[in-house]
Structures are given as C-alpha cells and as structure tokens.
Amino acid sequence: MKYSLTERKVYEMLTESTGIHMMDSGGSTGRHWQRNQRIPIEAFKILPDQLVDFEVWRNELEVSFTKPLFPFLSELLEYQPNWQSKFTRFANKYPDDSWYELVDRFAEKHHDSELSDRFSKPTSSYTYNYECSLSQDIMFTEFENFEGTFVILQIHNGADARGGFTDPKIFKIDDWEDFYCNHHGFIGCDNLDCDSYWNTYNAGYLWESDYVEPLSEFQVKEVDSINLDGSQVGIIQVHDKRASCPKCSKGLIGG
C-alpha cells in the first residue's frame, strides 16, 4: 500500500511522543500518542471519514459521531516541506521562544492581508474550545499569501487539554470550509429505494433533515435483532450499535 507525503507526515504527528507528566491524567499508557503508536499506518489508512454508533439511553436515541483525524487531515491538507524548512530556520533563530510565540510571529510575517478576503491577520483556533467531532483535538494558525492558504498545525497528543501538543507542521489547505466545519456530519439509509437522510451541524447532538422528521422525534426501541421487513416504520430499532431507518424500515442508517 502506497502512502502520500501528507499521509506519512500526519501519521508521524499522530505517533509523535509529547511526553509524560506526573500531573496529567494519562496514566502509564493512556495518552493519544501512546495509543496511536500501537496502530500501524495501514490501519489508519482504511478508516472511514466518519464513525457512527447508536445506543438507547432512557428511551432516547444516543448517536456517537466521530471523524477519525487521519483521513480528515490527509484528505483536506497537503504537507509543505518548503514552508516547513522556512519555519524551522525561523524557529532556530529564537531557541528560547515557545512554539506558540514562534507560530504566531511566523504567520504574521508571511500573511498578506491585502490578498485575504476573510481575515486581516492570521487566525488561530483550538478545537477543544468549540464543538468538534474529531477523534483528537488540533490547534492551528491560518495565514494566506499569493501562494495559497496555509495552516500551521499541532495535534493534541497528550491527555489533559492544556498540554501535550506535537511540534508545528505546515500544510496547504484548499477547502477551508470543510476544515472548519469538522462538527458537521451526515447519515443516510442504505436502502437504495429510500432517500432519507439527516445532517448534524453541532457534532451529533441534533440530527435534522429538510425532508423528514428529526431523528429525535421517532420512537426508539432496543431489540435483540433488527427487523428489516418494512413492518417497523416510524420506529428506530437499535441493536449492537446499529439502527434501522424509521422511514422505510428496510435499511440501516449510518455514515
């Protein structure tokens, strides 16, 4: 199996050790980087764009919705070795400065506010601070110039949210809307004769559609086996983290 430069760099970041501290909550082996190091790149490569599981809790449907970070980053970003070399040379001039300071100044130095129609100066985000469906949080600073739009990315590989970030890496981004909308998702019915679907815009808390009722309005029933003969219309049957389509009762819903 072949891997692109971007895929190899993302895997390198996911498995990068960000250390162990006696005051964090990762125990001996519970940090992201420790768990990721036990997973080969080929296993990350075959992950779907999103994972959806269903459960019943107090007679209500619970939807677990996650976007695995490896395909998310690999599909939306392109690693930039030339820009990375520029950043490394820049950082080496200031060995006593933090990554946060270096990333901020580098982005300001290379951002062209006259070319950008979205922001006048580089913008920074940490997904921990807002609704996010990614399997791991990321911190990034975006800047723009005549070569394109770039993000200086760090992955949270530790346990506690306050620390445990990878070294910064620079990627080019073409579809910034999908990148920022990491809390959006879609589930539909696998019955080809049924066109029912639902969207979430808040990391899976609500699933709504322009054409059918929200998932939360259907009756939910935990069953020993899902019946797909069409007799359970209006009911979401749940078994082993799978769920039936409440509109046709002949297919399963999922990502």
pLDDT of residue 28: 61
Angle between helices 81-92 and 99-110 (to 10 degrees): 120
CB 33 within 8 A of CB 157: yes
CA-to-CA distance for 250 and 231, rounded, in angstroms? 8
- pLDDT by residue (tens digit) across 173-219? 989 899 999 999 999 999 999 999 999 999 999 999 999 999 999 99
State the sign of the Cα–Cα–Cα–Cα dihedral 133, 136, 139, 142: negative
CA angle 99, 100, 106 (to 5 degrees): 80
Half-sphere exposure of 8 (CA within 13 A, CB side): 7
Share of the chain above pLDDT 90, in %: 85
CA-to-CA distance for 140 and 168, rounded, in angstroms? 8
Count helices and strands in the chain by DSSP H and E runs: 7, 13
Is pLDDT at 249 greater than 80 in this prediction?
yes
